[in-house]
Amino acid sequence: MPDPREIKRRIEEAIPGAQADVRDFTGGGDHFEATVTAPAFAGLSRLEQHRLVYSVFGTEIGGPIHALSLKTKPERHP
Amino acid sequence: MTESHPQQPEQTTTDNPLRDAITEAIEENRVILFMKGTPDQPACGFSARTVGCLQSLGTPFAAVNVLGDPRIREELSVLSQWPTIPQLFVNGELVGGCDIVTEMYETGELAEALGIEREQDTGDGATTPAPAAAEVPSGPAPLQPENRLP
């Protein structure tokens, strides 16, 4: 079962310079909420930013990860 | 003058009629929401919130209940490259899911994308009041997937 720390780690490993805050907002281990900042988002539309994060998890989204609610920001992370 | 065509011209024939039906629904409805449940009875909090954003802007929209057939969701996600439901399309383009729609609603971008002018917070104060809904209330009827999609 995914947990917030694992989701955070995977996002940060997959997207260079990303910083993710992830919480399990139902406590059930399948609905997560993440705020992700990454320089890689610069120049991307919001849709593309979210797609980039979703792509880290592939088909797990909608499967074991029932929901991953996102807020993304293209901030620099030195 | 009474010419009847018993057979309709078929121009979109691929080997995937369900995908064709989804593509057609997206093309034919300016604003279309793929959701879980119906606008009156959403079956998921994310779908409910997205419907709420659209309804509070007074925009007519077509809705497809993806729970009607699990294949709709699979085909839709292949087409849209978006993994979750709901999915809002405007003018044939994916706008986003619940998070993006909610964020755009809050910033006013959603009204803009829908072509609705909201006259609150106009600085000069002397503008003519805009209609509550920018479009005729009798918009496209909610798409019935059980009718449209095999």
Residue B37 per-residue DSSP state? B
Q: Do B84 and A51 touch (CB under 8 A)?
A: no
DSSP state string for chain A: ---HHHHHHHHHHHSTT-EEEEEESSSSSSEEEEEEE-GGGTT--HHHHHHHHHHHHGGGBTTTB-EEEEEEE-----
**Least CB-CB distance to B96: which of A46, A61, A68?**
A46
Structural Rg of chain A based on CA atoms:
12
CB B99 within 8 A of CB A47: no
**Least CB-CB distance to A47: which of B46, B96, B98?**
B96
Of A39-48, A58-67, B49-58, B136-145, the range with the lowest mean pLDDT is B136-145
The amino acid sitting at B99 is D
Here the ipTM equals: 0.89
Strand partners, B65: B35
Query: Distance of CA A47 to CAs A72, B5, B71, B104, Å?
Result: 10, 43, 24, 11
Inform me whether the C-beta atom of residue B97 falls under 8 Å from chain A C-beta atoms.
yes
Q: Do A68 and B84 touch (CB under 8 A)?
A: yes
Residues 6+ apart with CB under 8 A from B36: B42, B43, B44, B46, B47, B65, B66, B67, B85, B86
Inform me whether the C-beta atom of residue B93 falls under 8 Å from chain A C-beta atoms.
no
Average confidence (pLDDT) over B48-52: 98
Inform me whether the C-beta atom of residue A47 falls under 8 Å from chain B C-beta atoms.
yes
pLDDT for the residue numbered B140: 43
pLDDT for the residue numbered B135: 39
Average confidence (pLDDT) over B16-37: 96
pLDDT for the residue numbered B149: 43
Tens digits of residue pLDDT in B55-88: 999 999 999 999 999 999 999 999 999 999 999 9
Give contacts of B97 with chain A, Cβ < 8 Å: 50
Name, of A43-47, B1-5, B114-118, the range with top average pLDDT: A43-47
Q: What is the 3-state secondary structure (H, E, C) of B76-128?
A: HHHHHCCCCCCEEEECCEEEECHHHHHHHHHHCHHHHHCCCCCCCCCCCCCCC
Give contacts of B99 with chain A, Cβ < 8 Å: 50, 69-71
Q: Which two tokens stand for residue B76?
A: 């839709």
